[in-house]
Structure 1
Amino acid sequence: MDFAFDARTEELRAKLLAFMDEYVYPAEAVAHEQRELLASPWDTPAVVEELKAEARRQGLWNLFLPDSEYGAGLTNLQYAPLAEITGRSPQLAPTALNCAAPDTGNMEVLAQFGDERQRKQWLEPLLAGEIRSAFAMTEPEVASSDATNITTLIERSTDGTDEYVISGRKWYISGAMNPDCKIFIVMGKTDPDGSDIRRQQSMVLVPRDTPGVEVRRAMQVYGYEDHSHGGHAEVVFDGARVPASNLIGEEGGGFAIAQARLGPGRIHHCMRLIGMAERAIELMCRRAVSRTAFGKQLAEQGVVHNWIADARVAVEQLRLLVLKTAWLMDTVGNKGAHAEIQAIKIATPRTVVDIIDKAVQLHGAGGVSQDFPLAELWAAARTLKLADGPDEVHQRSLARRELKRYV
């Protein structure tokens, strides 16, 4: 395993670091001020569109897509350090580079499983950053950590039209509050009584303006409204009808598509989480050398030394595990890297939450305020202990894989 950055990665890293310093960090306060003046909190601040235009001009666009026909053609190992950098400003940087969830996963689904018409209608404007999208899987009435539980129905119409009728209730549907969100990828059951519980589900494209689609309310995350993803919404599908040609792939293929989508999504989250931890360490160190308590700089307090040292050790360990996972995904595929994907999904959010928590503690009241990014970073990191599968699901699967060696 060789994790040294190649020439292309080094070039992109240098460009991205300069872009962050010159454009993204200064835009954080501007975006907050502009958002306060918008008619809707879900409208996009003008500075975000300016960032997108500049990133595209500099060639920092669609870096996440390994398929060179649609994206930058980077491997996971090449993309990992770039995603880490964007994680330092998760509210702005991923969106600026058109590398923000859930659009990234949806573009991957359309590129891999969509037909020519679907790619033309929906993938192309997503790649251009002209529209946003949402992925509708999680439901409030069932334990959605087990995707076979979903109850939303995708049924063939019985009136002679070649359509699907979608009925169900979803929540925490990322991106759905954004007025630029034009398309949902909806997972539901086309064969609810099928003998194979992993062949009951399908995915279908549902335009947001389809009659019967109601974006009911925004769901908060620890009191925050996550603007970077375009919010997290409760969405009701009440007999919404779409052409049968909106099916992605084949009937019964939804579970397999979901698994293909979630593998890259999980590692992308972990890459960005490392960047969030690095931002927290930086803020912690700056605070420690600038504040005095009980006659000594915070930087001279032993407990602060422990926090900073432990954070550095933990981040270096996580980064190596994430890079190994990226390397395996590139060399043996997502299936061959399954155990490592689970490992980073367990370890990274848990560890980064702790690092950010220590940074909050060091900032005192400021740490939980809106004057520093730490509280929002903590909420985002803590949520990732649930998103894309809660820790316990990954622990169960990983433990069973280990135990197979001895049974």
Structure 2
Amino acid sequence: MLSEQAVPVVRATLPAVGGALDRITERFYDRLFAARPELLRDLFNRGNQAGGEQQKALAGAIAAFAGALLERPDERPDAMLSRIAHKHASLGVTSAQYKTVHEHLFAAIAEVLGEAVTPEVARAWDEVYWLMANALIAVEARLYRRTGVPEGQVWRSMEIAERREETPDTVSFVLRNPDGTPTPPFRPGQYVSVRVPLPDGARQIRQYSLSAAPGRSQWRITVKRVAGEPAGEVSSRLHDRARAGDVLTVSAPFGDLVLPEGESPLLLASAGIGSTPMLSMLDHLASTGSTRPVVVVHADRSPATHAHAAELRRLVAALPGGALHLWYEEPGDSGARPGRADVTTLDLPAGVTAYLCGPLPFLRAVRGDLLRRGVAAADVHYEVFGPDLWLGHEG
């Protein structure tokens, strides 16, 4: 909770700070990487930095958190914090790094806003930062404890047991512990980070959902080749070089878009490679003999680009309460509906909880349709691959 003296200052300056956040975050990253170039080389996604997505995501997170402190002073935006904390934990972020961020972020604020940053304004926004940072540090500490690792020590070596070509631009890797011991447990829907050495000496990190059920001796990730450079440098490296027998550096599992326990009805809606966490959930439901109602929606470009299409059909068919609805932009004779997914046409069970994964336009469209149909905002959960440019818009 903000102090009484900080509330009016943050309220008065939020429009100015919010309006300048894109410039502030751009200057922040310039300063940070000039002082600590290894962070860009080995921690931050260079593709997202080059495209500006990470700067926008940071700006959105700060503005959303400050707005929440003002609008709901007795609450904490836990959904937003949880998503960020899980991503940080999967990268091995440590509490000490928040001091480094603070140093360069507040220097950037002073540079961009100049004399408008009075001591009073600086103190108020310092409160905002440390409320957010300390909340994240606390959540991340709990995640590390739950995972059974020291702070930041999330990495392990995993051997590729099998490589499978799923579509022309999608490949899956079955991973196992090199010593043959069972892989650690995870919750259906979670992801791991993969740290890949690149020709220029960088070790770039990307997140990939675990696309099969937990409780087995192996993990599976599915990697879609991302076009462009440097955005696709990790996926391209894995596609071009990773083979059975190779060893990858992989994090412990994290992620808060996870299958809820119980028998309540579910809507699992995905687009493109966003189907991967849903496959893990469906595989778990099928392997445990679940009878809960599950409506599955998937959208893709065509049958040829739909990774794990036959597996998706098989898993849904194995569920007594399962129903599958497919949309392809180019359906051919697949039996799928043409165009984009439209949940307004579906018969959704009362009390449904929705889980969405895919590109941001898909998430916004499906979430908006669900809200208009009367699904509570609190019952719509999402995962977006890459920087979350939708922070603060969950309602």
TM-score range, shorter chain: under 0.3
Normalising by structure 1, we get a TM-score of 0.25
* Structure 1 or 2: more strand by fraction: 2
* Structure 1 or 2: more helix by fraction: 1
Normalising by structure 2, we get a TM-score of 0.26
